[in-house]
């Protein structure tokens, strides 16, 4: 077994940086460790034992396969391959059959997962992926007989169909146990539930090989009261060619074959999705039109074709990851930035918070604030998609500048049952837009005509949307002149206008009273920070008067925070509906919060009086732990209806004094802005998975991606993570590390070089594609500084300042940046 980097080898696996893989060596990881397949509409979630499911575009309404959340055993439902040879039964992915394997490995790579198993010298290699631009999962399985004699093998595939609407599928049994329908033709099993009525789509599971039998009825396959770990079909090595009518339709192929000594066989299974237009639904009465399915099957009917697609996928990722690469003295830093953080950024960009092993895929649409923030980790990779996303978000904005909190990706319409009034929402679009323009130089995004929610025809451009976002804050100020919080700000659980005493209502969608009192200092900081971006955009497009007027609002807010938002040693968090302070030394619990420290410090509020630095010192003193920075302290020990959901959580979890990783990078950035490189790096690395390899057992979640939350010091298990993958932490920590620690920062005119690194780092090299040029940057730090004046040389010529002017360069360039004082 080839091991790339012994130093990362742990109880459950190791990084193989050369292959861009994380290799898992046990089917019994502390939680299912998953990967995502697909990158454009068709997606699959796949655990290290092939559990999970796939869906087309919307994980609620178009789910192909069934998965059981929070079930026993955990990770129940997936793409399973069962083998029976000489009476020994096992799974090619380590589970669900519990037979201990002689060899097991799962390689999670960029858009694919590969599983190696071996039992009694019968080896299998399964590669699962979604080819580029394809609505299908492909499973290529190679079985090799490493014995010195011939062996007969019975192989069974297995997936279980979800009846499309995942929520209904898990609840409406009185209907669903009667609706299931399938067809079988050749080696393909078609799932056509509800196709007879309003659905113009079906799914199929096929294999490029004749089959010896099949099952499509779950009960027949499993046998009464048996689980996925011991299907009767495998035990008896026989199938009944069952055709499901209602109950629970599945797809299982049975293939029996003999392999001589040393012989191998490769099979390709395709799990595909097809849409057919209404006129061409049927090829004969009650027989679905299989033309599109046959095409799809043909595309992947040989292992050569599959190999070509795998290569295309690898090239695609190579190209994307190559847009920015780092070589610092710390391997873990490089691993995070060059591989896994960028990979996670794409996944969070694509899926927002919809489908993970912690988000069931039936609840939430695309979040307005989440999706805007996700773009800051992705704009350098696929800027066209970022532009499209920003404009989609913009089109859900309301005419008064406020925003629907979420929208559905299928309809692109704001979600009426959640509504708006999260008053931080609109300003995130200023961040995403400014960041996009700084990356691309493409000001034309501002001229795009975009509807306001409910409009038929767009009457205003995207710039107007930003202006209304800005004004929405200006027009909604409270008694202290600070922004009204509405239902909540970034912290969904700080519900100052909810006053809930009813356990059956949602904290987030309930708002009592006029809400014209409770105010947020975090939004104030956000307004100053991104308000400055808005002002700069106005200046750059020649709207000088508007720039001046907007600047005045920003300055006013800055003063207001200095006067009303400072507690003495840190920034206050909010004023509640009674006008009481939240996040002040006067409070008995929740005296200090992270969010306002991060935003007000990044905005530089009170810099002349040293407030940002003092706030950072308070963060260090009160909020920092070995596992990251907690959200607040002291934790709330009692529920208060004046604070809402935050006080509903047991101390140390989630928003109640958990380490809510998403906001840690705000502190990292603020520290970097202050020039404190060691602090910035410390906060960065405490939550970065590549640095946490020796606490895998405690940490529990995947050791290659960020999790939303790590339990804080008041919890039963400080350091234990939850809710991996879909978190704003990915985009933010990438942004913090690349733009503020390495200081390679896109700006309107070009690329700024403004690092704040560890003093011990003497040399770092960075390659960065930027607006059609590629820069190979050598960063030198001969005096052991963190931050300082930069001496910049471009292709051997010294230039003034620390900006690489974008319009002067195309092609490849060599940059030397030295921190000189
Ligand atoms: C979740 C939400 C995000 C919110 C955060 C803090 O991660 O997706 O929108 O800001 O929680 O409450
Ligand atoms: C809960 C979670 C919070 C999340 C919100 C979104 O309140 O605690 O983190 O943002 O749900 O629905």
Q: What is the DSSP string of 273-308?
A: EEE--GGGSEEETTEE--HHHHHHHHHTSSHHHHHH
Ligand 2 atom closest to 363 (CA): 12
- Residues with Cβ < 8 Å from 210, sequence gap 6 or more? 187, 255
* For range 78-95, the mean pLDDT: 98
pLDDT band at 365 (very low <50, low <70, confident <90, very high): confident
State the Cα–Cα distance between residues 742 and 755, nearest whole angstrom. Answer: 5
Digit-coded pLDDT (tens) for 293-351 = 999 999 999 999 999 999 999 999 999 999 999 999 999 999 999 999 999 999 999 99
Q: Does the pLDDT of residue 703 top 70, yes or no? A: yes
β strands within 316-389, DSSP E:
324-327, 366-367
State the Cα–Cα distance between residues 295 and 284, nearest whole angstrom. Answer: 19
Q: Does the pLDDT of residue 380 top 60, yes or no? A: yes
Count CA atoms closer than 13 A to 265's CA, side-chain side: 17
β strands within 438-531, DSSP E:
449-450, 460-461, 519-520
* For range 640-662, the mean pLDDT: 98
Whole-number Å distance, alpha carbon 807 to ligand 1 midpoint, is 38
Ligand 2 atom closest to 649 (CA): 8
pLDDT band at 581 (very low <50, low <70, confident <90, very high): very high
pLDDT band at 793 (very low <50, low <70, confident <90, very high): very high
Backbone angles phi, psi at 151, to 5 degrees: -135, 145
Angle subtended by helix axes 462-474 and 544-564, to nearest 10: 30
DSSP 587: S
Q: Residue written as tokens 């302290």?
A: 633
* Residue 411 CA from chain centroid, whole number: 21
Cβ of residue 493 lying under 6 Å from some atom of ligand 2: yes
Cβ of residue 654 lying under 6 Å from some atom of ligand 2: yes
- Whether residue 444 has a cis bond before it, omega within 30° of 0: no
Residue to mutate (ligand 1; options 657, 728, 729; most atoms within 8 A of CB): 728
State the Cα–Cα distance between residues 656 and 644, nearest whole angstrom. Answer: 11
Number of neighbours of residue 588 by Cβ within 10 angstroms: 9
Whole-number Å distance, alpha carbon 516 to ligand 1 midpoint, is 23
State the Cα–Cα distance between residues 686 and 682, nearest whole angstrom. Answer: 6
- Residues with Cβ < 8 Å from 762, sequence gap 6 or more? 329, 780, 781, 782, 784
Count CA atoms closer than 13 A to 559's CA, side-chain side: 5
DSSP 635: P
Residue 350: its H or E element = helix 341-351
| Alpha helix positions (H), 482-520 | none
Residue minimizing CA distance to atom 10 of ligand 1? 490
* For range 676-704, the mean pLDDT: 97
Taking all residues of the chain, what is their mean pLDDT, rounded to a whole number?
Answer: 96
Q: Does the pLDDT of residue 257 top 60, yes or no? A: yes
Cβ of residue 97 lying under 6 Å from some atom of ligand 2: no
Whole-number Å distance, alpha carbon 352 to ligand 2 midpoint, is 13
What's the token pair of residue 47?
């655990």
Cβ of residue 645 lying under 6 Å from some atom of ligand 2: yes
Residue minimizing CA distance to atom 3 of ligand 2? 492
* For range 695-713, the mean pLDDT: 97
* For range 534-560, the mean pLDDT: 98
Q: Does the pLDDT of residue 137 top 80, yes or no? A: yes
DSSP 738: I
Ligand 2 atom closest to 654 (CA): 8
Counting residues of the chain whose pLDDT is more than 90, the rounded percentage is 95
* For range 99-115, the mean pLDDT: 98
Residue minimizing CA distance to atom 7 of ligand 1? 727
**Nearest-5° angle of CA 666, CA 672, CA 675?**
150
Whole-number Å distance, alpha carbon 509 to ligand 1 midpoint, is 14
State the Cα–Cα distance between residues 79 and 160, nearest whole angstrom. Answer: 8
Residue to mutate (ligand 2; options 354, 492, 636, 708; most atoms within 8 A of CB): 492
Cβ of residue 655 lying under 6 Å from some atom of ligand 2: yes
Whose atoms come closest to the Cα of 490: which ligand?
Answer: 1
Backbone angles phi, psi at 673, to 5 degrees: -65, -30
Whole-number Å distance, alpha carbon 440 to ligand 1 midpoint, is 28
Digit-coded pLDDT (tens) for 469-489 = 999 999 999 999 999 999 999
Per-residue confidence (pLDDT) for residue 419, from 0 to 100: 87
* For range 750-768, the mean pLDDT: 98
Residue 588: its H or E element = none
Per-residue confidence (pLDDT) for residue 408, from 0 to 100: 82
How much is the CA Rg of the chain, to the nearest whole Å? 28
Q: Does the pLDDT of residue 10 top 60, yes or no? A: yes
Q: Exposed (0-12), middle (13-18) or buried (19+): which is 802, by Cβ within 10 Å?
A: middle
CA nearest neighbour of 737 among 323, 337, 330: 337
Residues with CB under 6 A from ligand 1: 353, 367, 369-370, 490-493, 655, 662, 708
Per-residue confidence (pLDDT) for residue 454, from 0 to 100: 87
| Alpha helix positions (H), 654-769 | 664-673, 677-687, 696-699, 729-735
CB burial of 274-310 (b: ≥16 within 10 Å; e: otherwise) equals bebeeeebeeeeeebbbebbbebbebbbebebbeebb
What is the four-CA torsion angle of 712, 718, 719, 720, rounded to 10 degrees? -100
Ligand 1 atom closest to 364 (CA): 8
Cβ of residue 661 lying under 6 Å from some atom of ligand 2: no
Whole-number Å distance, alpha carbon 492 to ligand 1 midpoint, is 6
State the Cα–Cα distance between residues 721 and 706, nearest whole angstrom. Answer: 9
Q: Does the pLDDT of residue 6 top 60, yes or no? A: no
What's the token pair of residue 579?
């006008």
Ligand 2 atom closest to 507 (CA): 7
* For range 717-731, the mean pLDDT: 98
State the Cα–Cα distance between residues 437 and 51, nearest whole angstrom. Answer: 40
Whose atoms come closest to the Cα of 728: which ligand?
Answer: 1
Whole-number Å distance, alpha carbon 454 to ligand 1 midpoint, is 26
Residues that are catalytic? 492
CA-CA distances (angstroms) from residue 436 to 319, 391, 433?
Answer: 20, 12, 5
Q: Does the pLDDT of residue 759 top 70, yes or no? A: yes
Residue 391: its H or E element = helix 383-394
Q: What is the DSSP string of 540-570?
A: HTT-HHHHHHHHHHHHHHHHHHHHHSB-SSS
Q: Exposed (0-12), middle (13-18) or buried (19+): which is 609, by Cβ within 10 Å?
A: exposed
Cβ of residue 359 lying under 6 Å from some atom of ligand 2: no
What's the token pair of residue 209?
């090989």
Per-residue confidence (pLDDT) for residue 164, from 0 to 100: 98
Whole-number Å distance, alpha carbon 804 to ligand 1 midpoint, is 36
Ligand 1 atom closest to 353 (CA): 8
Whole-number Å distance, alpha carbon 165 to ligand 2 midpoint, is 23
Backbone angles phi, psi at 246, to 5 degrees: 70, -155
Digit-coded pLDDT (tens) for 39-73 = 889 999 999 999 999 999 999 999 999 999 999 99
Whole-number Å distance, alpha carbon 525 to ligand 2 midpoint, is 22
Check: pTM over 0.85? Answer yes or no. Answer: yes
- Residues with Cβ < 8 Å from 575, sequence gap 6 or more? 478, 479, 480, 482, 517, 518, 519, 581, 582
CA-CA distances (angstroms) from residue 749 to 540, 770, 796, 806, 809?
Answer: 11, 11, 21, 6, 12
Residue to mutate (ligand 2; options 418, 419, 493; most atoms within 8 A of CB): 493
Count CA atoms closer than 13 A to 442's CA, side-chain side: 20
- Residues with Cβ < 8 Å from 477, sequence gap 6 or more? 483, 484, 519
Cβ of residue 488 lying under 6 Å from some atom of ligand 2: no
pLDDT band at 789 (very low <50, low <70, confident <90, very high): very high
Ligand 1 atom closest to 727 (CA): 7
Looking at the DSSP assignment, which residues form a beta bridge with residue 23?
A: 14, 107
State the Cα–Cα distance between residues 641 and 406, nearest whole angstrom. Answer: 25
Ligand 1 atom closest to 488 (CA): 12
Q: Residue written as tokens 């409910």?
A: 454
CA nearest neighbour of 201 among 298, 297, 277: 277
Residue minimizing CA distance to atom 11 of ligand 2? 492
């Amino acid at each position: 077994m080839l091991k790339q980097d012994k130093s990362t080898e742990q109880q459950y696996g190791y990084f193989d940086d050369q292959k861009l893989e994380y290799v898992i060596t046990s089917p019994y990881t502390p939680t299912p460790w998953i990967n995502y397949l697909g990158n454009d509409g068709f997606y699959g979630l796949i655990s290290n034992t092939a559990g999970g499911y796939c869906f087309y575009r919307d994980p609620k309404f178009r789910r192909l396969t069934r998965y059981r959340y929070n079930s026993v055993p955990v990770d129940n439902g997936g793409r399973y391959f069962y083998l029976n040879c000489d009476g020994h039964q096992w799974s090619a992915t380590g589970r669900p059959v519990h037979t201990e394997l002689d060899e097991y490995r799962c390689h999670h790579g960029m858009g694919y997962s590969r599983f190696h198993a071996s039992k009694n010298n019968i080896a299998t290699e399964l590669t699962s992926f979604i080819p580029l631009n394809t609505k299908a999962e492909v499973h290529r399985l190679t079985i090799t007989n490493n014995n010195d004699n011939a062996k007969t093998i019975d192989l069974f595939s297995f997936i279980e169909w979800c009846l499309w609407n995942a929520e209904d599928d898990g609840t409406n049994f009185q209907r669903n146990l009667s609706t299931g329908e399938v067809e079988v033709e050749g080696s393909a099993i078609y799932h056509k539930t509800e196709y007879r009525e309003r659905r113009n789509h079906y799914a199929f599971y096929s294999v490029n090989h004749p089959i010896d039998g099949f099952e499509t009825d779950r009960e027949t396959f499993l046998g009464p009261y048996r689980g996925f770990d011991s299907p009767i079909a495998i035990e008896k090595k026989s199938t009944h060619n069952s055709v499901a009518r209602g109950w629970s339709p599945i797809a299982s192929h049975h293939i029996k074959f003999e392999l001589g000594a040393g012989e191998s066989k490769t099979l390709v299974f395709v799990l595909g999705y097809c849409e057919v237009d209404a006129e061409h639904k049927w090829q004969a009465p009650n027989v679905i039109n299989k033309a599109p399915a046959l095409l799809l099957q043909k595309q992947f009917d040989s292992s050569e074709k599959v190999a070509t697609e795998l290569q295309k996928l690898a090239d695609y990722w190579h190209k994307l990851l190559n847009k920015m690469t780092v070589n610092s003295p710390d391997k873990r830093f490089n691993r995070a930035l060059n591989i896994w953080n960028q990979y996670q950024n794409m996944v969070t960009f694509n899926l927002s918070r919809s489908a993970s092993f912690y988000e069931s895929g039936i609840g939430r649409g695309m979040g307005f604030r989440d999706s805007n923030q996700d773009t800051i980790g992705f704009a350098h990779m696929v800027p066209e998609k970022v532009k499209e996303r920003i404009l989609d978000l913009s089109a859900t904005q309301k005419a008064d500048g406020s925003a629907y909190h979420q929208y559905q990706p299928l309809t692109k319409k704001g979600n009426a049952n959640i509504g708006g009034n999260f008053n931080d929402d609109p300003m995130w679009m200023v961040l995403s837009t400014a960041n996009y323009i700084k990356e691309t130089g493409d000001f034309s995004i501002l001229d795009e005509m975009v509807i306001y929610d409910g409009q038929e025809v767009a009457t205003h451009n995207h710039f107007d949307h930003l202006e209304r976002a800005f004004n929405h804050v200006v027009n909604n100020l409270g008694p202290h002149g600070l922004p009204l919080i509405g239902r909540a700000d970034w912290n969904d659980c700080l519900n100052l206008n909810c006053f809930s005493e009813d356990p059956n209502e949602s904290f987030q969608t309930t708002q009592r009273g006029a809400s014209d009192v409770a105010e947020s200092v975090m939004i104030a900081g956000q307004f100053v920070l991104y308000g400055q971006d808005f002002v700069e955009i106005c200046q750059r497009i020649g709207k000088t008067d508007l720039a001046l007027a907007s600047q005045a609002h920003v300055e006013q807010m800055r003063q207001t925070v200095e006067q009303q938002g400072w507690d003495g040693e840190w920034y206050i968090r909010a004023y509640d509906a009674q006008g009481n302070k939240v996040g002040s030394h006067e409070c008995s619990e929740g005296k200090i919060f992270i969010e306002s420290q991060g935003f007000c410090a990044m905005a530089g509020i009170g810099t002349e009086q040293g407030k940002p630095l003092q706030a950072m010192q308070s963060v260090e003193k009160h909020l920092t732990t070995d596992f990251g920075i907690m959200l607040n302290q002291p934790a709330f020990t009692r529920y208060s209806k004046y604070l809402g959901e935050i006080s509903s959580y047991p101390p140390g979890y989630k928003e109640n004094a958990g380490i809510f990783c998403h906001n840690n990078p705000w502190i990292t950035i603020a520290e970097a802005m202050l020039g404190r490189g060691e602090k910035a790096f410390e906060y960065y690395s405490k939550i970065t998975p590549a640095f946490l390899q020796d606490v895998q057992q405690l940490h529990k979640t995947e050791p290659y991606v960020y999790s939303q939350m790590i339990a804080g010091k008041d919890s039963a298990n400080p350091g234990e993570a939850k809710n991996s993958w879909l978190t704003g932490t990915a985009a933010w920590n990438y942004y913090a590390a690349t733009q503020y620690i390495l200081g390679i920062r896109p700006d309107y005119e070009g690329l700024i070089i403004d690092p704040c690194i560890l003093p011990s780092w003497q040399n770092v090299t960075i390659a960065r594609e930027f607006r059609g040029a590629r820069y190979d940057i050598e960063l030198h730090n001969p005096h052991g500084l963190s931050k300082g004046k930069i001496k910049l040389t471009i292709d051997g010529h010294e230039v003034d300042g620390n900006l690489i002017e974008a319009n002067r360069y195309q092609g490849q360039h060599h940059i030397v940046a030295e921190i000189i004082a």
